[in-house]
Amino acid sequence: MAFHWHETGLADHWHAYAWNGSERPPDSDRRDQGSSSPPLEISHWLRQRPDYVKATFKIPDDRDKARAWLQETLDEYPSREGPFSRHKVSELTYTSECLESDHDVVWGYYSASGRYVSRGLIFCPRAGERCPKPPRR
């Protein structure tokens, strides 16, 4: 569900967040908004420090760049198991649908190398949240 908040005058975009760890972080870390851990609430990614934003992709112009950013993650950190192990982003129906319909994409999985990999493409602007890093026009 994407919320539009046009009063800000900001065009729709995604903020890209990335976090890797040795294991899935405990909920206590995920509730700590000063932490770079993937938060429990999707909208709370936007409350993290602006320098945790790895990239910002404008919608719809940068949709392919957003997809490529996710693909890089799979190339670098193939999954240990599950659908990510055999499929590329283009075949991940759910991810593609999220991208095509301007929704959030949130991944959390264990890589073949034993890392916990978390990635978020978080739709912005959204109600109740401040844009952490407005895209350049």
What's the closest the beta carbon of residue 76 comes to Zn ion, in angstroms?
25
Instruction: Please check whether residue 120 is in contact with residue 16, taking contact to mean a CB–CB distance below 8 angstroms.
Output: yes
Minimal distance, residue 131 CB to Zn ion, in Å:
3
CA distance 51 to 30: 18
Residue with Cβ nearer Zn ion (12 or 74): 12
In the bound state with Zn ion, the residue whose beta carbon lies nearer, of 66 and 124, is 124
Q: Pick between residue 17 and residue 107 the one whose CB is nearest to Zn ion.
A: 17
Residues in the chain: 137
d(CA 111, CA 115): 5
Task: Give min distance, CB of 112 to Zn ion, in A.
Answer: 33
Shortest distance, CB of residue 88 to Zn ion, whole angstroms?
28
The smaller minimum CB distance to Zn ion, of residues 117 and 124, is found at 124
- Nearby residues of 96 by Cβ (< 8 Å), 6 or more positions away: 67, 89, 90
53 token code pair:
């934003």
Query: Would you say 14 or 107 has its CB closer to Zn ion?
Result: 14
The two tokens of residue 59 are: 């919608």
- Residue 122 beta carbon to Zn ion: minimum distance, rounded to whole angstroms: 8
Binding site for Zn ion (CB under 5 A): 124, 131
Which ranges of the chain does DSSP label H, i.e. alpha helix? 27-31, 63-76, 83-86, 93-100
